[in-house]
Structure 1
Amino acid sequence: MTMELVFIPSPGIGHLRSTVELAKQLVNGDERLSITVIIIPRSSGGDASDFAQISSFFTPSQDRLRHETISVADNPTGERLPTQVYIANQKPQVRDAVAKLLDPNSPSSPPRLAGFVIDMFCISMMDVADEFGVPTYMVYTSNAAFLGFSLHLQKMYDEKKLDTSELSESVNELEIPCLTRPYPVECLPYIFVSKEWLPLFLAQARNFRKMKGILSLWFGVPMVTWPLYAEQKVNAFEMVDELGLAVEIRKFIRGDLLEGVMETVTAEDLERAIRRVMEEDSDVRNRVNEVAEKCHVALMDGGSSKAALRKFIQDVLENVVV
């Protein structure tokens, strides 16, 4: 009997593509696993090109990797809902899709459900996994630095009442355990200084701690950073100041698209940064080459990435409900 994992990515090709690639690695890593990816359509409904692109991610030869697109719940108000709220509204449809997958009366022998693997914006689906009595794992589509950043701010808020939306002007830097140097307060992402967004991300971080495991995805290429919204300022700090893998357009770019205010970046700023990252034998390019080699080693047999994948598969198989 195969052990079934249910993957639930967030709507959007970017999240879906990386999730499917991870699923392929898992089914290729152990023939006892099969995976069904439940597709939640975008709130706008998408179009034919969306569905054609989704189908292209899956090939008939991969009989242990399937996808199921659900019909989304009606939105009576017609207003655009926050992603987390929109996804939470689809829990009944996801529940029905999983129940159909496990139907004992189906023509083929139903698989044994091993767990849910959900996107970082699909935390509400943990409730559905609990109903089926299986563990939930999370695919974290941002980087490990921002994960540590979020968990630390949530802990400080809950234990010491540190509210980053109310920091005094005397606080210039924050000590974040996952970073080697203090993080400048003026570079805090808008989601952490907004009274509207902060509670949402603190609640999300609390739920991260309830997961059976977290799969962090990472990748490194030379780049010029231009943070616009969400966690991108933390990403830029990590890439430029922590890892030395990127060049910033300007040290601090103020504003955030989520806030509706964004500082203008000039053509001169952009040209200066691109010239720096293109310099032959520059520190950034040399550092990127070093990390690229480490990435290749990690993906080889015996590398850290392969070892982590095997450890995850073993954990899934050992925790299957009998």
Structure 2
Amino acid sequence: MKKVEVVFIPLPAMGHVIAAVELAKLIVERGNQISTSVLIMHPAPDPSTAKYTESLSASTLPNRMRVVDLPSLEHTAVSNTGGNWMASLADAHKPHVKEFVSKFKTQSELSPDSPRLAGFVFDSFVLGMEDLAEEFGVPWYVFSASGAAFIGSMLHLQALHDEQKVDLFEFENSDAELEIPSLVNRFPAKLLPSIVFHRQSFSTFLDAARRLRKTRGIVVNTFKELESHAVDSLSNGEIPPVYPVGPIVRSQGNDYDFGSDRINDYKDIMQWLDDQPPSSVLFLCFGSWGSFSIDQVKEIACALEQCGHRFLWCLRKPSSSKAKIESPSDYLNFQEILPQGFLDRTVERGKVIGWAPQVEILAHKAVGGFVSHCGWNSTLESILFGVPIAAWPLYGEQQFNAFEMVIELGLAVEIKIDYRNDFFLDGSKVIVSSDEIKKRVKFAMEQDSEIRNKVKEMSQLSRKALLANGSSYSALDLLIEDMMKNIA
């Protein structure tokens, strides 16, 4: 039997790396003749990404899989502004990728039993490396850590710009609504990602969309039952085959990405949850890049104090740098940011934390609601574990995801889906009031609501999709079959 090797190159951001690693695991566990290498580019903008990849030792990975750190670049070699860092990082790492693959090719040619290179899987925003695949004479696939509907929106916007000459910058803060084929409902243009409205990064977005039309196949972290309309809209024969293989989330019980300095935090958090009644805890977490101003933090604290629900709040400190992209950090003392006496008044029913083991928390029976930034990984995790979301997007395509969850699919309640607090802004000027937060949180925590029942139903469908003969299981089989064809 022929053996093949597939090389993954994710964007070095936490959500993208985790999804790529988990997909690579699935492929080697399903395909007995496939090996995978996940190449990690450095420097990563988020220190937690580096900690995660460092912890992926050979003992934590299945056979025939490896995670390889590429040489770290000097920060001066990578643009650290807006969306440009993605393109400049990939361009600067091309020689390192070429060197790695060349060595692999040489070794495989010396041994007839060694795997043969079968292709690359590039993150949807790792641009410019497809010429390496052509140089080595193998196909390349795109892996999207976003959903199918968002992939459809990228293709639609690129067509509007390239074919119909629409000026997309005019949509910023407008009341226009777009008819996007991957959505049933009309989409408010002002909810498009900020990257679309900034000229220095807009070309990155367009290039990413254009290359979707040139790839061998588009692998999407979603499942047919969740985004049936979107998946069908992408299966019209006009673009390469789409493989919905999700939900791909980090495996529970693997504490390798916590790091030794996190083990005590993890035990403390899980012990606290063990002491709470079922479905009673509201979990607030906004991703590795999520943070708020002092004024907004006080409104959230006021809402939590008044709503009466138990809560577990992951609170991060905003970056102090305005000159470059830099992730939030942990507060040394929560007293410096929270209202005076808040921790004492809520000590019996609330817990404020910095780092959070999100998958384990969402899987815990005590958690009954999730105030989330609607990153796609977080969205899939909440669905998998049947926890309703209160949507509060911050950056990236999260406004799009929030719209899809609240309006398109009816699987979440809205806190404020047009909120923005991303890399392009000097903090959000909008403050969501404690009264509004409290009202929306109560909707999310209702125990027999229509939304909770719909989320529970979708949770069951997500698990079935991953089982033998399920939609995602079958899609992964088709992907592996296609990869195996690449070696004669």
TM-score under structure 1 normalisation?
A: 0.90
Residue of structure 2 equivalent to 1:228 = 394
Shift of 1:300: 1.2
Aligned to 1:294: 461
Structure 2 counterpart of 1:96, one-letter code: E
1:158 aligns to what? 162
8 Å CA contact 2:394, 2:420 repeated in 1: no
Q: Which residue is 2:101 aligned to?
A: 98
| Deviation of 1:134 (Å) | 0.5
The residue identity in structure 2 corresponding to 1:37 is V
SS at match of 2:38: strand
Instruction: Pick the aligned partner of 1:250 from 408, 412, 416.
Output: 416
Among residues 425, 436, 461, which one is paired with 1:259 in the alignment? 425
1:89–1:252: structure 2 CA closer, same or farther, 3 Å change rule? closer
Counterpart in the other structure of 2:437: 270
Please identify, of 101-110 and 17-26, the stretch whose mean Cα deviation from structure 2 is larger.
101-110
- Shift of residue 166, structure 1, vs aligned partner: 2.2
How far is 1:103 from its partner? 1.6
CA distance in structure 2 between the partners assigned to 1:269 and 1:182 by the alignment: 25
Secondary structure of 2:153 counterpart:
helix
More off after superposition, 194-203 vs 310-319: 194-203
Q: How much does 1:32 deviate?
A: 0.7
Report the Cα offset of residue 44 of structure 1. Answer: 6.1
User: What residue number does 1:133 align with?
Assistant: 137
- Contact kept, 8 Å, 2:178 with 2:189, in 1: the verdict is yes
Q: Secondary structure at the match of 1:96?
A: helix
Q: Answer yes or no: is the 8 Å Cα contact 1:222–1:288 preserved in 2.
A: yes
Gaps of 5+ in 2: 223-379
**Residue equivalent to 2:470:** 303
Q: Deviations over 1:181-234 (max 9, x none)?
A: 111123233222233332221121001111111111032352111111111111
Call closer, same or farther: CA 1:145–1:65 in 2, change over 3 Å.
same
Q: Which residue of 2 is the match for residue 183 of structure 1?
A: 187
The normalised TM-score by structure 2 is 0.61
Change (3 A) 1:229 1:52: closer
Task: Find the residue that maps to 2:451 and give its secondary structure.
Answer: helix
- Equivalent residues of 2:43, 2:73 under 8 A apart: no
Structure 1, unpaired ranges of 5+: none
Residue matched to 2:35: 34
Q: How many residues align?
A: 320
Amino acid at match of 2:198: S
Letter in 2 for 1:92: P
Question: C-alpha distance in 1, partners of 2:68/2:174?
Answer: 52
In structure 2, the CA distance between the partners of 1:147 and 1:281, relative to structure 1 (3 Å rule), is same
Residue matched to 1:212: 216
Report the residue type matching 2:103 in the other structure: K
Aligned to 1:280: 447
- What do you get for the CA RMSD once the two structures are aligned? 2.6
Deviations 1:291-318 (A, max 9, x none): 1111111111110010000000001111
Amino acid at match of 1:130: E
State the SS of the aligned residue for 2:436.
helix
Corresponding residue SS for 1:21: helix
